[in-house]
Amino acid sequence: MPAQGSGPTAGVFTSHAQERVVFGTPAEQAVVAEAAHYGSARIFVTSTRSLTEFSDGPLQRIEAALGSKHVGTFTEIGAHSLREGVIEGARRAREARADMLVAVGGGSVIDATKAMLMCLWLDFDSPDAMEPYREDLPKEKRRPIEAPADAIRMLAVSTTLSA
């Protein structure tokens, strides 16, 4: 047991809902290690404009730590993860030939990045293409999301207190 006041315990927690949860490690170090763990070499970062305003915030530290593996950042994700932003982010990640997405921010950024994965997996290029995959559709009209065998992955770096 660590001495009181010596900081958080470091480790990795594995579950089925989230493949891995890394804790007790600075985000920039964890992102670089996880990218290496999955063999990713072309990392595309998603975030919000508000995090671009820092000179040395979590977004900037992650981008710097990735170095040449950082192939782009999309910071135009707004509240509630609107489809147009999701499609645009996926388009930019596709153009960058990203092999991993890293969401840095709160719930809207993380949710939008999950939806970007679906767009990349299923090659969507319009908001309308997402319609059959809505969770609120009747079961008989809803289509399942099936990831390809070589599916691009994502990491989520939550910057909110609720995480």
pLDDT at residue 1 is higher than 70: no
Tens of pLDDT, residues 55-103: 899 999 999 999 999 999 999 987 877 899 999 999 999 999 999 999 9
Going from the C-alpha of 55 to that of each of 8, 52, 60, 96, the distances in angstroms are 25, 8, 7, 24
Most confident region among 14-18, 113-117, 136-140, 158-162 by mean pLDDT? 113-117
pTM of the model: 0.85
- Top CATH class, 13-158: alpha beta
| Predicted confidence (pLDDT) at residue 163 exceeds the cutoff of 50 | no
